[in-house]
Amino acid sequence: MRTRPTLTWTGTGEPLPRTGSVAEVAEVVSRGRVVVLSGAGISTESGIPDYRGESGSLRRHTPMTYDEFTSSIEGRRRYWARSHLGWRTIARAEPNSGHHAVATLREAGLLSGVITQNVDGLHRAAGTRGVVELHGNLDRVICLGCRRTTPREELHDRLRAANPDFGGTATRINPDGDVDLAEEAVRTFTLVDCTACAGVLKPDVVFFGENVPRARVERCYRLVDEASAVLVLGSSLTVMSGLRFVRHAAKTGKPVLIVNRGQTRGDAHAQVRVDLPLGEALTDLIDLVELVGGPARLA
């Protein structure tokens, strides 16, 4: 059974009071066994916009859904034409200070796990070990027929060979890896199929309206169960695929700490709510964790 995509959410009731200090977060993190759940907000400082922030892409862009991609060749053509241009921006993006801070905390033994809703691979690029990429990664392609996976770079080369005169001008990269592109540039774009079975190729990511693989979900629940607290970084938690872990943590009595610009759907479950840019907040967090001492391991 496929879920109906949740693209927007409107908060109700009084918003949780926000603080501009990560001191309380540092106290919890310094004790260790914290699991991070990150979202698009941690990658904005790497040049990849989020979906729902002040300049979020949902204000001008409707992301591809699973049903549209699988049921319409024109939908696939539109996605791959735009994504073909957008992929280079994603591939060139570099981890920012927020990603590096998470890697530092993980290396110090203070994080028991990292779950990311992002598909940009920047946590891994920063050196974070054992990242669970909840929604997959744009650097892989999967065939919907034979389920074979291949590197995105390989598909990029094939699409470039099939479209030697494709000269669309990309504007505004989106978090799902595609770009805004004039419709006339899309119409002549040539698709390519799986080289093994001629099946339909799809980025190995979870589209809106598509279910996260059950084994991956269960792994995330185990990480939450084994953690002492959940730290949400840069996610509005609008989508249930991430919100469920916050709800599960709160239900089992674990502290939930949220660092995000703007209100989130999980605020009612949070013990602490910090409103700061992620790079600044996580740099401060590293400094404060060192001060409170649990993190002599950071030295």
Q: Does the annotation mark 84 as catalytic?
A: no
Last residue of a domain, one of 205, 228, 244: 205
The reply to whether 71 and 215 lie within a common domain is: no
220: closest CA among 237, 204, 243?
243
Where does a domain end: 205, 234, 249?
205
Q: What are 24's two structure tokens?
A: 């309380």
* Sign of CA pseudo-dihedral 2, 54, 75, 177: negative
Indicate which CATH number applies to the domain containing 239: 3.40.50.1220
105 and 244 in a single domain? The answer is: yes
Are 40 and 146 in a shared domain? no
Say whether both 62 and 126 belong to one domain.
no
164 and 67 in a common domain:
yes
Binding site listing for NAD(+): 39-59, 117-120, 234-236, 260-262, 278
Same domain, 190 and 128: no
Residue 1 lies in a domain: no
Sort 132 into a burial class: Cβ within 10 Å, 0-12 / 13-18 / 19+. middle
Domain boundary among 205, 235, 262: 205
pLDDT tens-digit profile, the chain (299 residues): 344 445 454 555 555 566 778 999 999 999 999 999 999 999 999 988 875 445 444 444 578 899 999 999 999 999 999 999 888 888 889 999 999 999 999 999 999 999 999 999 999 999 999 999 999 999 999 999 999 999 999 999 999 999 998 865 555 677 667 787 778 888 889 999 999 999 999 999 999 899 999 999 999 999 999 999 999 999 999 989 999 999 999 999 999 999 999 899 999 999 999 999 999 999 999 999 977 655 445 54
**Sequential DSSP letters for 139-206:** EEEEETTT--EEEHHHHHHHHHHH-TT--PPPEEE-TTS-EE--HHHHHTPPP---TTT---EEEEE-
75 domain residue, yes or no: yes
129 and 256 part of one domain: yes
Domain count along the chain: 2
Binding residues, by number, are: 39-59, 117-120, 143, 146, 194, 197, 234-236, 260-262, 278
Say how far apart CA 30 and CA 296 lie, in whole Å. 10
Residue 90: predicted pLDDT: 86
Give the active site residue among 84, 100, 123, 135. 135
Regarding whether 242 and 272 lie in a shared domain, the answer is yes
Question: Are residue 169 and residue 60 in the same domain, yes or no?
Answer: yes
Residues in the chain: 299
Kindly state the tokens that stand for 25.
């977060």
Do 38 and 61 lie in one domain? The reply is no
Domain that holds residue 146: 55-92+139-205
Going by C-beta distance under 8 Å and a sequence separation of 6 or more, which residues neighbour residue 169? 181, 182, 185
In this structure, is residue 40 part of a structural domain? yes
**Structure-token pair, residue 109:** 């033994």
3-state SS class at 274: strand
Contact 260, 236 (CB under 8 A): yes
- Residues 201 and 215 occupy one common structural domain: no
The full DSSP string for 1-17 is: -PPPP-------SPPPP
Residues 23, 168 share a domain: no
Q: SS3 of 112, please?
A: strand
